[in-house]
């Protein structure tokens, strides 16, 4: 029996039907596969090369950023 | 020094060891859409484009296009900036994310602002951030005031380009203190690139005639009535100013008594 996990993404709380998941699985859930972005988890950057190993847990806070127009 | 056409083609801006033909660097903000962004940048001939780092939209249209789709990273040198950062810590954090986002790309534009109303840089926080970023392996092009002492300190700690304001960000007020810019150009060894304040083509030409190594702008192009034509104007202005600088201007005098036409052989 899974309990839902709540994580904060870019300031908004999101619920997922897992107890935990890898960064890779999260990227897939958020439909970000193939896009250019970077993720910080609880203030620490998660290198893309380690997405398969990194686990996202209930209560984690993520910042997911991309490049936008700017001067 | 005579500069013929062949030598002009070899005139390059070297930043952190990398040569660039274009001395015009452009921002990618404030355009109507990505298509206009791309067209304007093509017209500008710029090879270096600044981008901001912001939260990604989550749960939006999967096929929504992004800036990078229009400006591929293999065609342009990206210069992620820290616009909107008011502390050294925020700027450092932003650029570490940028490096991860851009697969290890080290060339960055550091700007730490001091005040949201004027967007004047906070040079104390800028120095702090630059010190840490250089230690962390970044090539730091730094936005700063036109204070020659701060500019020298930023060079001494290892910044690869010093980018003084000509006037405040987004103001379009042009080159307000050419004398300070001249001091910077005289006292620094790394490229000096005017960043901020350029309003129209003559401003860019003046910066280059002073001996600046390049000009970075966004608003002057993006908010022109016709951004694509203004991008073309800026390209020419930067090139014209550069050539005029290399050519060496005539001496100024209030009057010369020396007309261009012969004084002899006049009909009587």
Contact between chains at A38 and B59 (C-beta distance less than 8 A): no
**pLDDT in tens for each of the 268 residues of chain B?**
555 555 667 899 999 999 999 999 999 999 999 999 999 999 999 999 999 999 998 876 667 789 999 999 999 999 999 999 999 999 999 999 999 999 999 999 999 999 999 999 999 999 999 999 999 999 999 999 999 999 999 999 999 999 999 999 989 999 999 999 999 999 999 999 999 999 999 999 999 999 999 999 999 999 999 999 999 999 999 999 999 999 999 999 999 888 999 999 999 8
Sign of the alpha-carbon dihedral angle for B155, B101, B33, B112: negative
ipTM (interface pTM): 0.92
> Distance from B237 to chain A by nearest Cα, in Å?
19
As a whole number, mean pLDDT of residues A23-42 equals 91
Q: CA A64 to CA B97: how far, in whole Å?
A: 9
A36 and B66 within 8 Å at the Cβ level: the answer is yes
Q: Give yes or no for a contact between B98 and B62, defined as CB atoms under 8 angstroms apart.
A: no
Catalytic residue among B10, B30, B109, B225: B109
B21 catalytic, yes or no? no
CB pairs < 8 Å spanning A and B: 100
Q: Which two tokens stand for residue B12?
A: 């390059």
Burial of B178 (0-12, 13-18, 19+ CB in 10 A): middle
Find the Cα–Cα–Cα–Cα dihedral B228, B234, B236, B238, rounded to 10°. -150
Q: How close A40 gets to chain B, by Cα (Å)?
A: 7
pLDDT of residue B64: 78
Contact A12 B58 (CB under 8 A): yes
- A31 at B interface, C-beta within 8 A: yes
Of A37, A45, A48, Cβ closest to residue B56: A37
Contact residues, chain A, for B101 at CB < 8 Å: 36-38, 65-67
Q: Which of B54, B67, B169 sits opposite A65 (nearest CB)?
A: B54
Residue A1 has pLDDT above 70, yes or no: no
Distance from CA of A1 to the nearest CA of B (A): 27
B168 Cβ under 8 Å from any chain A Cβ: no
Instruction: Tell me whether residues A66 and B54 touch, CB distance under 8 A.
Output: yes
For residue A61, what are its two tokens?
């806070």
Give all domains of chain A, ordered by start, each with its CATH number. Answer: 5-60 (3.10.20.30)
Q: What is the pLDDT of residue A33?
A: 87
Nearest CA in chain A to B197: A71
Give the pLDDT band of residue A47 (cuts 50, 70, 90): very high
| Facing A36 at nearest CB: one of B68, B83, B196 | B68
Give yes or no for a contact between B50 and B80, defined as CB atoms under 8 angstroms apart: yes
Q: Shortest Cα distance from B26 to chain A (angstroms)?
A: 7
């Amino acid at each position: 029996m899974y309990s839902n996990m709540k994580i904060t993404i870019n300031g908004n709380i999101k619920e997922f039907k897992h107890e935990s998941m890898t960064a890779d699985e999260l990227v897939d859930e958020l439909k970000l596969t193939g896009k250019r972005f970077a993720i910080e988890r609880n203030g620490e950057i998660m290198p893309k090369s380690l997405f398969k190993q990194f686990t996202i847990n209930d209560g984690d806070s993520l910042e997911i950023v991309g490049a936008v127009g700017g001067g | 020094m005579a500069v013929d056409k062949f030598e002009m083609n070899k005139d390059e801006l070297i930043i952190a060891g990398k040569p660039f033909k274009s001395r015009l660097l452009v921002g990618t903000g404030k355009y109507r859409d990505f298509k206009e962004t791309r067209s304007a940048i093509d017209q500008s001939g710029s090879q270096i484009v600044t981008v901001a780092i912001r939260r990604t939209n989550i749960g939006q249209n999967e096929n929504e296009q992004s800036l990078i789709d229009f400006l591929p990273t293999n065609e342009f040198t990206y210069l992620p900036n820290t616009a909107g950062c008011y502390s050294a810590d925020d700027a450092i954090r932003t650029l570490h994310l940028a490096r991860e986002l851009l697969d290890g790309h080290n060339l960055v534009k550091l700007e730490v602002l001091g005040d949201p109303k004027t967007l004047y840089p906070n040079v104390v926080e800028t120095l702090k951030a630059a010190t840490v970023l250089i230690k962390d392996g970044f090539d730091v092009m730094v936005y700063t005031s036109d204070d020659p002492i701060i500019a020298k300190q930023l060079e001494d700690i290892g910044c690869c380009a010093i980018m003084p304001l000509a006037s405040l960000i987004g103001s379009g007020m042009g080159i307000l203190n050419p004398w300070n810019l001249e001091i910077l150009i005289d006292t620094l060894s790394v490229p000096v690139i005017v960043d901020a304040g350029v309003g129209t083509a003559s401003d860019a030409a003046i910066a280059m005639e002073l001996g600046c190594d390049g000009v970075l702008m966004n608003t002057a192009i993006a908010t022109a009535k016709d951004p694509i034509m203004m991008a073309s104007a800026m390209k020419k202005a930067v090139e014209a100013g550069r050539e005029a600088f290399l050519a060496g201007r005539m001496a100024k005098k209030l009057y010369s008594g020396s007309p261009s036409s012969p004084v002899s052989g006049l009909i009587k």
